[in-house]
């Protein structure tokens, strides 16, 4: 398989959120999301309740996938930053660690320059966490250790989902 399974642990999740919260403050942003390239929402901070976060995650990933396709057509590896300017709100979308998407929503209280600057710094910190996660997953796989919660599910458990 091309992309390894993404697993998130409690400790890393806390670290991620800490960085996102910091970025939210420093960039003066309204909301920040972290999305898997496959369209799964990893985390969100700020005024998240105002948005349909699941749809946002899926469309962001579609957007990144489509622009990634465009990039390849013209011989680029990817477009690592996308910027969408609206009348009031703007979206700054960037790829972190080649694997996850960082979405920053901001309005006139902030500026593109500030967001870019802060995102750059936060991206480095986030990359580190995702590298650690990848390492941890790899080590686990090597040691054959499995605390996977689904290992013991029964057919009944599965059937119950649909009852």
Residues lying near another protein in the complex (CB under 8 A)? 1-10, 12-14, 36-40, 42, 52, 54-55, 58-59, 62, 65-66, 68-69, 146, 148-153, 157-158, 160-162
Strand order in the sheet with 41-46: 41-46, 31-36, 100-106, 90-96, 81-85
Nearer residue to another protein within complex by CB, 109 or 150: 150
CB of 109 to another protein, least distance (A): 28
CB of 111 to another protein, least distance (A): 30
- Does residue 101 contact residue 37 with C-beta atoms inside 8 Å? yes
Phi, psi of 2 (to 5 degrees): -75, -45
Nearer residue to another protein within complex by CB, 113 or 149: 149
- Does residue 21 contact residue 43 with C-beta atoms inside 8 Å? no
């Amino acid at each position: 398989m091309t992309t390894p399974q993404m697993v998130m642990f409690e400790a890393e999740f806390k670290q991620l959120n800490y960085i996102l919260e910091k970025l939210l403050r420093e960039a003066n942003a309204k909301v920040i999301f972290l999305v898997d390239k496959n369209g799964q929402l990893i985390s969100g901070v700020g005024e998240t309740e105002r948005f349909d976060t699941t749809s946002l995650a899926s469309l962001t990933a579609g957007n990144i996938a489509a622009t990634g396709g465009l990039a390849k057509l013209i011989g680029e590896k990817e477009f690592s930053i996308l910027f969408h300017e609206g009348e009031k709100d703007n979206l700054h979308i960037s790829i972190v660690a080649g694997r996850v998407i960082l979405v920053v929503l901001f309005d006139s209280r902030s500026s593109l320059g500030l967001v870019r600057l802060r995102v750059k710094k936060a991206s480095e910190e986030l990359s580190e966490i995702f590298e650690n996660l990848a390492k941890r997953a790899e080590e686990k796989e090597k040691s054959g250790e499995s605390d996977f919660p689904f290992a013991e599910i029964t057919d009944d458990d599965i059937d119950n989902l649909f009852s």
